């Protein structure tokens, strides 16, 4: 499965919403691969970056929800590729949110993780709009 084309409903969430960015159909969804096994610390960084609140197993932010969990696509044998990193942050934009807002939220999460010394790479239809192409320029 190509992680760059993963949709919310394929990973167990109940929605995936399409939007537009420069006239191109764009999924309002992002998966951020995180090279850390410390879910609590990553969740705290994500919550702070999104100025969000924790509700059950998700982080609610203005226009989006985030989930921090195990990387279900990780090779059990391990690996150095970002696709094999322990955690993922799933970021879902609300139906009415502008894609530009989701780009900003994703950027904020990435830069917070990087500033804390946590390698992270985003896979999204809009990754080219993110710093270092979503981190692939740093860790890919």
Residue 127, both tokens: 């990754």
User: How confident is the prediction for the chain on average, in pLDDT?
Assistant: 83
For the stretch 18-39, pLDDT in tens is 443 444 556 889 999 999 999 9
pTM for the whole structure: 0.81
For the stretch 92-123, pLDDT in tens is 999 888 889 999 999 999 999 999 999 999 99
What is the per-residue burial (b if ≥16 Cβ within 10 Å, else e) of 125-135?
A: bbbebbebebb
Q: How is domain 3-11+19-139 classified at the CATH fold level?
A: TATA-Binding Protein (3.30.310)
Average pLDDT over residues 53-63: 92
pLDDT at 26: 67
């Amino acid at each position: 499965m190509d992680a760059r084309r993963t949709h919310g409903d394929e990973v167990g969430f109940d929605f995936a919403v399409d939007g537009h960015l420069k006239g191109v159909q764009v999924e309002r969804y992002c998966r951020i691969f995180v090279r850390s096994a410390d879910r609590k610390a990553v969740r705290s960084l994500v919550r702070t970056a999104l100025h969000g609140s924790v509700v059950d197993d998700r982080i609610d932010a203005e226009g989006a929800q985030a989930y921090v969990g195990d990387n279900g696509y990780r090779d059990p044998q391990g690996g150095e590729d970002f696709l094999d990193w322990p955690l993922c942050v799933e970021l879902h934009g609300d139906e009415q949110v502008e894609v530009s807002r989701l780009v900003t939220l994703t950027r904020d999460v990435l830069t917070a993780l990087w500033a804390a010394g946590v390698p992270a790479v985003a896979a999204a239809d809009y990754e080219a709009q993110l710093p270092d192409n979503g981190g692939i320029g740093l860790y890919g």
